[in-house]
Amino acid sequence: MTDTAVPKRRKTSAKPDAPAVAPETAPDKTPHPAPKSKDAPRTIKDLRIARQGKRKPTPKQDDNPLREGLRLERVADPSVLVLFGATGDLAHRKVIPALYQLWRTNLLPHDFVVLAIGRRDYDDAVLRDELKTSLEKYSRVLPLDDAAWRSFASRIRYHKLDFANPDDFDKLVTVMDGIDKEQSSSGNHLYYLATQPSAFADIVAQLGRVGLDHERHEGGWRRIVIEKPFGHDLTSAIRLNREVGKVFRESQVYRIDHYLGKETVRNLLVFRFGNGIFEPIWNRRHIDHIQITVAESIGVENRGSFYEETGASRDFLQNHLLQLMSLVAMEPPATFDADALRDEKVKVIRAIGELTPDQLRSDVVRGQYGPGWVAAKPVKGYRQEPEVNPESETETYIAARFEVDDWRWSGVPFYLRTGKRLPKRATEIAIQFKEVPHRLFRDSNSDPDPNLLAIRIQPDEGIMLRFGAKVPGLGIDVRSVTMDFTYGSAFTVDSPDAYETLILDALLGDASLFTRADEVEGAWARVTPIIESWMDEPSPEFPSYEAGTWGPEAADGLLAREGRKWRRI
């Protein structure tokens, strides 16, 4: 209970359909606050009597007033998490460690079951042993808490199922009914698709066929979590959305982009909309350009065949980079509800100007790494990696210049870049402000740099502001200095892993940090023309950058031609 940081979740934000309850007075001014109530008096007379203290609002039975002020103001309903692909890499590395951590820190409901689905001939004990081995490797808190693991493991059951066999889904219905009755899970099911993307449509269709998507009148919600990649181009994304939409309503669908669960990404919203000083200058009048970098020092590791089909554009640009861009550029939402937030994000994506054929050639740079040195170790080139075609044309680096054609951002370039085998792992959003309109200190020995605001997402999460300061002395010498905020130096609590945040949100029914169908399609609509344009071009001269460098030289040219340069991270 003490060692996990989970942001307090307010009922109003966690339950999109619940009426917002405004506090009568600011908490600071309430000496004896009454419990919150959704059953507040509504007529003028009721309000007057309540204000005079003659009648106390009575909390409705479905809220637990003891939750106020605790880490979670609402706990997830009793439920079953049905994990498809439970024997796979994602389940072992991310999903199960996140669930274990949530369980260990008492953030899951008491009546909670993980139904692990896979094609292998396992039983409960074999799967649990395998999961424990993985946890000992991937859990963010080690050593494992044996009591917590035993208790959590007793809630994991294995069920063998072949996604291609409809009969297996009929049997799944029986299994689910049994668990619902046995475990008092009230028919609440969260289906988590941690499988190969090619299986998504079949699983969804089968869940629909056997009726496991139906939400019940007396409760019993059904939600589905779908991992990226969501489609491999615009057409496939539309098709997949259509297939999912035939079975589940959009409000039941939770598309994961784990970047949105990261603490600093969530803090970006607080930073922009919880502070009064930044929003007035967050526009074309004051901002020169914006750089968003997602750099990885690792190569493709053992995912060569996967990466051959995706590349940097599908793996990062279509989702993480465009999501970060939409969060930076979005207008303030009216509320913090999932749809209000996502409405604003999708407006940004739609406002990204479509690149003309000329721009597709001039504003997008792709690259592929060759052999080099990273962190003082020699590394192979991409084409020498296992499961990679020795003549591969897959891009491991992409940089692009976009513009958002709206009133706020018109004329402000957004430079996005991502790549593998870059010198270091770093994700950062840099807001480069314009130069001062009048150079008052032109006699200064050194020209001060324009102001810069850098939001570091990983590692070393924090925010840095650069500004000019006078160097002490008789003259007027101006030098750039920085104010640096790091999460680690201001807060004692550890940030939860993004998967912990997102899985808990899905169980609580809060879709704010998940992507909606129109966002996904909008992002593909921007990225697909880029990929298609490469089909018409001759074979690229790959490799185009040495591992351990910051990408191909052409990427520097993307900014240099406008008198700018990439930030050194």
Partner 1 sequence: MSSPSVTPAAVGGGAPSTPSAAGGPVASDAPARPNEPTLRWRSRAHSIEEVEQELVRIWAHNVEQLMGDRDGDHVNDRMIGARTNVMNLVVIAGRPEVGERCAATIQRLVGRHPSRTTIVQPADPDGPSWLDAQIVAHCVLPRVDAPETCAETIHLVCGGEAGRHLDAIVAPLLIHDLPVTVWWPDEPHFGSDPVNDLLAMSDRLVVDGSGWHGTGLDQLRKMAAAAERFPIAISDFAMVRQSRWREAIAAIFDIPDFLPYLRHIRRIAVTYGVRDEFGAETTNIVKPLYHAAWLGSRLAMTVTKPLAPMTGGPSRKAPVRSSSGRVTSLANPSAGLGATLRLDRTDVALVIRPVLSEMPAGTTLRVELLADWRGSELRADVTAEQEAVHVRVWQDGVHALERGFTAPRRTDIDLLAEAIEAGGRDPVAVGTLALAAQLAGGTPP
Q: What angle do CA 257, 259, 265 make, to 5 degrees?
A: 130
User: Is 8 one of the binding residues for partner 1 (CB under 8 A)?
Assistant: no
Taking CB under 8 A as the criterion, the residue among 12, 87, 101, 105 binding partner 1 is 105
What is the SS3 string spanning 413-470?
EEEEEEECCCCCCEEEEEEEECCCCCCCCCCCCCCCCCCEEEEEEECCCEEEEEEEEE
Instruction: In whole angstroms, give the CA distance from residue 521 to residue 519.
Output: 5
User: Is 147 one of the binding residues for partner 1 (CB under 8 A)?
Assistant: yes
Span near partner 1 by CB under 8 A; candidates 191-199, 319-327, 384-392, 460-468: 460-468
Span near partner 1 by CB under 8 A; candidates 194-202, 335-343, 477-485, 545-553: 477-485
Determine contact, residues 39/471, Cβ cutoff 8 Å: no
CB of 295 to partner 1, least distance (A): 15
# of chain residues touching partner 1 (CB under 8 A): 59
Site string for partner 1, 164-203 (x = CB under 8 A): --------------------x-x-----------------
Taking CB under 8 A as the criterion, the residue among 134, 485, 554, 556 binding partner 1 is 485
Strand arrangement, sheet containing 462-471: 364-367, 397-403, 413-419, 287-295, 426-433, 452-458, 462-471, 477-486
Q: 3-class DSSP state for residue 213?
A: coil
Span near partner 1 by CB under 8 A; candidates 121-129, 348-356, 478-486, 502-510: 478-486
Catalytic residue among 159, 258, 289, 320: 320
User: Is 148 one of the binding residues for partner 1 (CB under 8 A)?
Assistant: yes
User: Is 52 one of the binding residues for partner 1 (CB under 8 A)?
Assistant: no
Is 217 an active-site residue? no
370 dihedral zone (left: phi>0; alpha: psi -120 to 50; beta): beta
What's the Rg (C-alpha) of the chain?
26
Q: Which residue's CB is nearer to partner 1, number 217 or number 390?
A: 217
Q: Backbone phi, then psi, for 313, in 5-degree steps?
A: -65, -45
Q: Which residue's CB is nearer to partner 1, number 390 or number 472?
A: 472
Site string for partner 1, 402-441 (x = CB under 8 A): ----------------------------------------
* Residue ranges of E strands in 198-310: 222-227, 253-256, 287-295
Q: Which residue's CB is nearer to partner 1, number 66 or number 535?
A: 66
User: For the chain, how many residues are written?
Assistant: 569
Determine contact, residues 394/386, Cβ cutoff 8 Å: no
Q: 3-class DSSP state for residue 402?
A: strand
Determine contact, residues 3/494, Cβ cutoff 8 Å: yes
CB of 61 to partner 1, least distance (A): 6
Query: Which token pair is 321?
Result: 């980079």
User: Is 548 one of the binding residues for partner 1 (CB under 8 A)?
Assistant: no
Determine contact, residues 118/166, Cβ cutoff 8 Å: no
User: Is 466 one of the binding residues for partner 1 (CB under 8 A)?
Assistant: yes
CB of 437 to partner 1, least distance (A): 22
340 dihedral zone (left: phi>0; alpha: psi -120 to 50; beta): alpha
**Which chain residues interact with partner 1 by CB under 8 A?**
1-3, 27-28, 30-35, 56, 58-59, 61-62, 64-71, 75, 77-78, 104-106, 109-111, 145, 147-148, 151, 184, 186, 449, 454, 460, 464, 466, 480-486, 488-493, 567-568
Catalytic positions, please? 320
